[in-house]
Each structure stands twice: as structure tokens, then as C-alpha cells.
Amino acid sequence: MRGISKRYPGVNALCGVDLALARGEVLALMGENGAGKSTLMKVLGGAVRPDAGEIWIDGQRQAMASPLAARAAGVAVIYQEFNLVPALSARENIFLGLEQTSAGFVRSSEERRKAEALLARTGVAVPLDVPCRRLTVAQQQAVEIAKALAVDARIIVMDEPTATLTPQEVQKLFAVIADLTRQGIAVIYVSHRLDEIEAIADRVQVLRDGRAVASRAAAELPRRELIELMVGRSLEEEFPKRTRAVGRPRLVVRGLSRGEKVRDVSFEVRAGEIVALAGLVGAGRTETVRLIFGADQPEEGVVELDGQPLTIRSPRDAIRAGICLLTEDRKHQGLVLSQSVLHNFALPNATHFARAGWAAGGWIDRRRERRAFAGYAEALRIRSNAADQPAGTLSGGNQQKVVLAKWLESNSEVLIFDEPTRGIDVGAKVEIYGLMNDLAAKGKAIVMVSSELPEVLGMADRILVMHDGRITGEIDDPAAATQADILSLAIR
């Protein structure tokens, strides 16, 4: 891959990334969340077309215009959330799109024979006629690998393949990978687990901010240095300074649990405090804050605000109680993209703009609504003509500011920011940081979920690190801590 670039509105996901892969090699692709790993993989898999750059495989330039073309070129991508049709059997999934037919009829017996042979190479026993949704994760993964083998893939890309596997299954997978490389297949392996990288990678390529920053033999790259390469910059100046004045406890969470994702989480946030929830993707941070906000129901646990236990059965209850959540996924959870910015802004604030004398949820005072929004638009520097545009037409940074504006208007006491600066350019980031500081200065309790370690270190008064649904560590003095400290708590 040469000079691959991809721009999304608001961000440069990839800027001129080069990547080379030798036959039978295992290349670990490393980088922080948002460094551009998934975009790079999608380009390779034909799911995303790059703005610039070219891809050569075995001396031939490949167009990679579609997933089908990528498959034909010998590239198979196994995404974290597999690409299997849940209702179809393993056999049908393996041959989806390349059914073995004669005269239009599927030759089941031949498919079955081939499928058995392919699955045997993965070393996992998979029943052939059971709908895939009933298979275990490891079995589904085996089906994905068999799918890749069925098209004679020369390059197999695996995205976080071990994220949901048991240790035994991981060992089995490593054996399969070793076997594949012996057959001359090259593997690109994406993972956050440094132990695994050391165990199987021949070479490590590090991405940061959409650029390839290093490519080294795995053996020559100590863990410490790898983390530094991933994190890279020192960004202290990005974070506006503020005086810290922490008061009484406001939000208290005790014994919050739900399934495997959130196990017995307890913490408190005091007035004027910014508490960061750090950890890897899938550690349970988002799940935890969703429970506090009532987006999901906890199986156990108590949430208290200012000493009062809260009964929260829905986000509506939480908002009434004074808790708001800025979701990590603006497009699907934060905004109604087809509706105007103004309507989005007013959505949680119906009672603010209802005309006096009308029953709750009645007549909207549109002038008051517009005036209120204009105030935020100016303070947050949202484009002035944005109010009547569909929210979907705004850039990521502006969308995030609209989400901010709507929650600021709701005048919540507890503000939960889930990945507040994801996909936002640096300028807008600093504005949002400043705003968080202002809110803290007003005595609000702020919870920030973030995967960007510099942001966590720069903004938080206290850092809670989660791993596997539990809080595994607490850092009371972020100023004295390093990113490696957080990572070591998060990776285990």
C-alpha cells in the first residue's frame, strides 16, 4: 500500500500511509483508538475507497473498488463483529457468493465436503448445518477464516480477533495463524493486547493520527517504546489550565452491575470535579454511563445525586433528575440527523420552551427557543445560519457543539461526556475542553469517558481505569501519571 489517504468531514483519517507486507508474515497494526487502523483495514478490504494512494499485490496494481474486488484480489478481512448471515449455516456462509452449482442447483454435498476440509485447516470443530447465530464466537471466527480460505486469500486481516475469546481459544487461534503463515498467507493482526503482539507478530507497524510513524521488527521493539510510539505527542498545552476547587460529593454510584460488561462499579464524583473513565474499547465504560443515565437498566446498584437515591427507569427520568449523557455516537444516538439543528437543540428541553398556561408538552414558544439557541450558537461558535439546517449537514465538530448546546440548556447537574472529542478537529477540541472546565467551575459533576490518553491526563482531576467491566485502578493525581500508567492498568 502506498500513500493511502482518506479524508472524512472534519478529520484526516489517513494521510499518505505506506504499508508493506511480506509473504507468510504476521504484521501487527498498532495505534490508539482513532489512529486510522480501521480505516486502513477498510481500504484494504474494499469497503472504503481512499482519496489517494494505490495498492499493489504481488506486483499487480489493484483497484479494490468493492469488497468483492478485494476478495478477488486475495484479501479477506475478518471484522470484529463478524460478517456472517446469522440464519444461514456454516456451509452456506462459507460459500455465500461462490455457491458450487450445477445447472443452477446448489451442490450441497460438494460444498459440504469442501467446507469440512476448510474448517479442518482452522482446527476448530464446527457443526455444518446449524445456523451461525447459534455457534460460539470461536466457531464463528473459524467460519470466517474458512471463508477466507475458500477464496484462496493471500492476505487475511483480523481486527481484534481475540477480544471475546477465552484464553484456550486464543491459543488455538495462534496455532491457526502460525499454520496459515506456513502456507504463505500473510496476516495483518490488529489488537490492543501487547502480550499477543509479542507472541505472534513478526513486525509491528504503528499508526498515529492517520500517519505511519514506525515499522519495526517485533523483537526489536520493547513494550515501553511501543506505547510511546502509539501515544507519541505531549499535548499538555492543548488543555486549558484551571484552578481546581472540588467540593462535596454530588454523584455517587454504588455496586452498579449489568451482565458481563459492568460488574460492581462504584465511584463518586464531587462538585467541580472532572472524573475520567479510562480503559480500552469494550472495557465497559460506555455501558456503565448508560446505566447511570437510564439508557439501559442496571441489574443491581444505586445511583445517588446530592445524597438522594434516584429512581431512573429511562433517560427521561435521568434528565428530570439533572443527569445528561453526551453519547459517543453522535450520529446514531446524539442527534436526529434529518431534523433541524434547532429542533434537536429543543428536544430534551420541551418544558423550557412551552408557553406558560399550556399543559406540559404543549405549545412551543418558537421565538424563545430561537433566542436561546442563538445564545449558545454565539458562545460555542456554531455557524450562525445553522439553526434551520438538518443536523446531518453539519460537520462533526459543529454537530458535537449542537449536542453540547442542548445539554447545556437542560441545565443538568451531572454531565457525562462519552468520547466528547471523537472525530473533532483540534480547534474545536480546545473549545470543548474550555467548556468542560467552565462547567466544573460552576460546581457541576462531570464524568468523562475517553480513549484518548492525553485527553484523560490533561483534563481529569481523577482517573478511574476500567478493564473487563470492573474498575481496576484509580489515579488520584493525573499530573504525576503517565499514559503508560493508565495502559498498564487497562491492559493487564
Partner 1 sequence: MNVSASPHTAHRVRGLAANMLAEHGMLLVLGLLCVFFSVVTLDEQTPTGAEAARQVSGALEREQAEGARLIVVAGRGGEEDAFAAVLQEQAEAAGWTVAAVAQGGPREARLALEDLASAGVVDVIACSSTAGAWGVFEGLGDRLPAFAQTVVLRPQPSRWPNFLKTTNLLNVANQIAVIAIVAIGMTLVILTGGIDLSVGSLIALSSVAGARLIRDVCGGQEAGLGGMLLGAAAGILICGLAGLLSGGVVTLFGIPPFIATLAMMLVASGSAYILAEGQSINQVPDAFVWLGRGADLGGLPNAVVLMLVLYGLAHVVMSRTTFGRYVYAVGGNAEAARLSGVPVRRIVLSVYVLCGLLAGLGGIVMASQLKSGAPTYGQMYELYVIAAVVVGGTSLSGGEGKVLGTLVGALIIAVIQNGMNLTGVESYTQKVVLGLVIFAAVLLDRLRSRRG
Nearer to partner 1, 118 or 310 (CB): 310
Minimum distance from residue 297 beta carbon to partner 1 (Å)? 13
Minimum CB distance to partner 1 smaller for 49 or for 331: 331
Q: Which residues of 81-114 are buried (b: 16+ CB within 10 A; e: fewer)?
A: ebebeeeebbbbbbbeeeebeeeeeeebeebbeb
CB of 455 to partner 1, least distance (A): 23
Kindly tell me which of 337 and 430 has the beta carbon lying closer to partner 1: 337
The minimum distance between CB 419 and partner 1, in angstroms, equals 15
Q: Which is closer to partner 1, CB of 170 or CB of 295?
A: 295
**Would strands 470-475 and 300-305 be described as parallel, antiparallel, or unpaired?**
unpaired
255: left (phi over 0), alpha (psi -120 to 50) or beta: left
Residue with smaller CB distance to partner 1, 224 or 332: 332
Cα-Cα-Cα-Cα dihedral of 360, 364, 367, 371, to 10°?
A: 60
CB atoms within 10 A of CB 473: 18
- Shortest distance in whole angstroms from residue 322 CB to partner 1: 12
Cα torsion 162, 167, 171, 176: sign:
negative
Tell me the residue type at 363. Answer: W
- Of 314 and 411, CB closest to partner 1: 314
Asked if 27 contacts 205 with a C-beta cutoff of 8 angstroms, the reply is: yes
Type of residue found at 197: I
Q: For residue 399, give the 3-state DSSP assignment.
A: helix
User: What's the half-sphere exposure (Cβ side, CA atoms, 13 Å) at 154?
Assistant: 11
Residue labelled with grid coordinates 476448530: 124
Query: d(Cα 159, Cα 10) in Å, to the nearest integer?
Result: 25
Q: Nearest-CA neighbor of 489 among 190, 279, 256?
A: 279
| Contacts (Cβ under 8 Å, ≥6 apart) of 246 | 270, 271, 272, 273, 461
Q: Least distance from C-beta 80 to partner 1, angstroms?
A: 21
Q: Which is nearer to partner 1, 95 or 407 (CB)?
A: 407
Using the minimum distance from each CB to partner 1, give the nearer residue, 55 or 387. 387
Supply 203's cell numbers: 513486525
CB of 316 to partner 1, least distance (A): 4
| Residue among 233 and 367 whose Cβ is closer to partner 1 | 367
CB nearer partner 1, residue 215 or residue 333: 333
- Are the C-beta atoms of 253 and 302 separated by less than 8 Å? yes
In angstroms, the CA 186 to CA 226 distance is 22
The rounded distance, in Å, linking the Cα atoms of 31 and 209 is: 9
> Nearer Cβ to partner 1, position 261 or 406?
406
- 151: which 3 cell numbers? 477464496
Q: How far is CA 488 from CA 206, 298, 455, 465, 466, in A?
A: 18, 28, 17, 10, 11
Q: How far is the CB of 407 from partner 1 (least distance, A)?
A: 9
Considering the complex, what minimum distance in angstroms separates the CB of residue 336 from partner 1? Answer: 4
Least distance in Å: CB of 364 to partner 1? 6
From the CB of 376, what's the least distance to partner 1, in Å? Answer: 16
CB 211 within 8 A of CB 238: no
Least Cβ distance, residue 296 to partner 1 (angstroms): 11
Report the interhelical angle of 167-182 vs 137-150 (nearest 10°): 10
Output the smallest distance, CB 391 to partner 1, in A: 9
Q: Taking the complex as a whole, how short is the minimal distance between the CB of residue 310 and partner 1, in angstroms?
A: 15
Q: Which residues bind partner 1 (CB under 8 A)?
A: 293, 295, 314-316, 318-320, 325, 327, 332-339, 343-344, 346-348, 350, 354, 361-364, 366, 390, 406
Give Dmax over CA atoms of the chain in angstroms.
Answer: 77
Q: How far apart are CA 367 and CA 6, in angstroms?
A: 42
| Cβ proximity to partner 1, 96 vs 337, nearer residue | 337
Residue closer to partner 1 by CB (options 91, 406) is 406
The Cα 237–Cα 240 span in angstroms is 7
Report phi then psi at 68, rounded to 5.
-65, -45
